[in-house]
Amino acid sequence: MDTDVLIVGGGTIGLAIGFELVRRGTPTTIFEKDRAGRGTSYQAAGMLAPDAEIEFEELELYTFNRESLRRWPDFAKRVEAASGQSVDYRDEGTLIVADDRDAAEALERLYTFQQEQGLNVEWLTGEEAREIEPFVAPRLSAAVFAPADHQVDNRRLVDALRTAFEAEGGTLHEHTPVDAVVPDAEAPAVRTADGERVAGKRIVVAAGVWSRELDGLTPDAQPPVRPVKGQMIQMRRTRPFDLQHVVRGPEAYLAPKSDGRVVMGATSEELGFDTTVTAGGLFDLLEGGWEVVPGIRDLPVDETWAGLRPASRDHAPLLGESAAPGVAMATGHYRHGILLTPITAEEMARLICTGETSEWIEPFSPQRFSLADSPAASA
């Protein structure tokens, strides 16, 4: 097989890295255990929300998220041009709303922090929020408008990425699980479940929440990625309901898509690889969504599911060379994998093509965990 780069995993991350590589003329093959784009990337909400999701202890990640959002419009245009498919990039902005006094206090703390960090956000009364988005609840007293937080349709995105990757000359093997990677500085390889050994010049592990399951990596090279379950409900917009903005309440968020889907999520549960949809999970989401956008009451529900977020120990991704020779990682994107798709793809492609680790991905080296775990570090 004539290929330079072998990517394990065909989600948004593996497909986008592959797309950026083949555009640069690097022969690339993706191995996907099921159908490409039907893992966690299919189960997300598609929000590009660094401002709304900023965390007090994660400012380095915020800067990275923000830079990826800046790159999103150009990336979307490239993928759409190469695939001939829309990714439904929407820039109406996000409303973060409070439904009681405690939530309003928490929102005020968030707003103060956002202002200290220089974010472009606006404090609104309930009335002002309803002028922007008439479908938020009449009883809401306060909101923060984050106009720069956008969204895409992640389901369209993965289908467009797959088409774009193949259109640019990439090779995709679906229903081809990789059992093991075989590290080697000159000719690393993968071993597929049917026993085939395929060698290339570089391997990229982009297997999302399953990245830790691959054989062949020593413990210091294994990515410490664990699943964090998120249950979701999808409704169908029926007039007069016509939500236009992403709305985030204390217990649920709602993301309206241009094809009429209204995606509502999400729980956050540490239950390993369990993907059961539970009555309690759905109840919490319905109650939390209804409190902030009561018009959902009459909408037909057409899908429910549970996805698994690939979380690392510090909630930041693992990007770059691993401790295993010839094996790079692009995994652990946790809550931001759709948002982080452009910067991950561009910076990983740059690393692979030039050998240079950019200042953008340096802080997210997979080896930060290997070093933290070494006896010297704990002495």
Interacting residues with ligand FAD (CB under 6 A) = 8-14, 31-34, 39-41, 43-47, 177-178, 206-210, 214, 230, 232, 265-266, 307-310, 331, 333-339
Neighbouring residues of 338: CB distance < 8 A, sequence distance ≥ 6: 12, 41, 44, 46, 47, 48, 152, 154, 157
- 349 belongs to the binding site for ligand GLY (CB under 6 A): no
Radius of gyration of the chain (CA): 21
Tell me how far, at minimum, the Cβ of 116 lies from ligand GLY, in Å: 23
Which entry of ligand GLY, ligand FAD, none binds 43, CB below 5 to 8 A by partner kind? Answer: ligand FAD
In DSSP terms, 90 is beta-bridged to: 151
- 252 belongs to the binding site for ligand GLY (CB under 6 A): no
Q: What DSSP letter does each residue of 203-262 carry, written as one string? A: EEE--GGGGGG-BS--TTTS---EEEEEEEEEEE--TT----SEEE-SS-EEEE-TTSEE
* Of residues 200 and 310, the one with the C-beta less far from ligand FAD: 310
Considering only CA atoms, which of 28, 33, 159, 30 is closest in space to residue 85? Answer: 159
* Of residues 22 and 144, the one with the C-beta less far from ligand GLY: 144
Confirm if 90 and 46 have CB atoms less than 8 A apart.
Answer: no
Site for ligand GLY in 103-162 (CB under 6 A): none
Q: Which two tokens stand for residue 333?
A: 């994107």
Question: Is 269 strand, coil or helix?
Answer: strand
* Of residues 156 and 335, the one with the C-beta less far from ligand GLY: 335
Which entry of ligand FAD, ligand GLY, none binds 233, CB below 5 to 8 A by partner kind? Answer: none
Residue 80, phi then psi, degrees to nearest 5? -65, -40
**Dihedral angle at the C-alpha atoms of 171, 273, 55, 329, nearest 10 degrees?**
-30
* Of residues 160 and 266, the one with the C-beta less far from ligand GLY: 266
* Of residues 237 and 335, the one with the C-beta less far from ligand FAD: 335
Q: Which of 18, 50, 227, 230 binds ligand GLY (CB under 6 A)?
A: 230
- 45 belongs to the binding site for ligand GLY (CB under 6 A): yes
> How would you classify the pairing of strands 122-125 and 142-146?
antiparallel
- 266 belongs to the binding site for ligand GLY (CB under 6 A): yes
Site for ligand GLY in 276-335 (CB under 6 A): 309, 335
Tell me how far, at minimum, the Cβ of 101 lies from ligand FAD, in Å: 28
Residues touching ligand GLY, count (CB under 6 A):
7
Residue 81, phi then psi, degrees to nearest 5? -65, -40
* Of residues 111 and 334, the one with the C-beta less far from ligand GLY: 334
* Of residues 191 and 315, the one with the C-beta less far from ligand GLY: 315
In DSSP terms, 294 is beta-bridged to: none
Tell me how far, at minimum, the Cβ of 89 lies from ligand FAD, in Å: 13
Contacting residues toward ligand GLY, per CB under 6 A: 45, 47, 230, 265-266, 309, 335
